């Protein structure tokens, strides 16, 4: 569990490589933030990655918009108190 208790934010987490990254990080013990333009896809990934502990945080954001990018960082820090890893 190399990422145990690390707060990891993954953009594009609703599908493809982003979803696979979330699944790997969850297996490694990370506290996840799943970000996608499609909130339903992000929520599906979060549900698939949820374990017995804390549920992943789901955020809708478009990283092409600077306000969304700032907002996802702020929401993560507000929820978890910090951000250790960001994968875009």
With bands split at pLDDT 50, 70 and 90, how would you rate the model's confidence at 80?
very high
- d(CA 48, CA 82) in angstroms, rounded, equals 23
CATH, range 7-87: 3.40.50.720
According to the model, what pLDDT value does residue 53 have? Answer: 80
CB 13 within 8 A of CB 34: yes
**Residues in CB range of 55: below 8 A, 6 or more apart:** 46
- d(CA 2, CA 6) in angstroms, rounded, equals 9
Q: Please write the tens of the pLDDT for every residue from 32-67.
A: 999 999 999 999 999 999 988 889 999 999 999 999
Residue 12: is its pLDDT beyond 90? yes
Residue boundaries of the structural domains of the chain:
7-87
Rounded to 5 degrees, what are φ and ψ at 16?
A: 55, -135
Q: State the sign of the Cα–Cα–Cα–Cα dihedral 10, 41, 66, 7.
A: negative
Q: State the sign of the Cα–Cα–Cα–Cα dihedral 32, 67, 74, 82.
A: positive
According to the model, what pLDDT value does residue 66 have? Answer: 98
Q: Please write the tens of the pLDDT for every residue from 19-33.
A: 999 999 999 999 999
Residue 4: is its pLDDT beyond 90? yes
The pTM assigned to this predicted structure is 0.95
């Amino acid at each position: 569990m190399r990422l145990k208790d690390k707060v990891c934010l993954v953009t594009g987490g609703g599908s493809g490589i982003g979803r696979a990254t979330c699944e790997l990080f969850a297996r490694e013990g990370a506290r996840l933030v799943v970000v996608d333009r499609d909130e339903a896809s992000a929520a599906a990934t979060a549900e698939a990655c949820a374990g017995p502990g804390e549920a992943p945080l789901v955020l809708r954001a478009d990283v092409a918009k600077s306000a969304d990018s700032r907002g996802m960082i702020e929401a993560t820090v507000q929820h978890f108190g910090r951000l250790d890893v960001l994968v875009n």
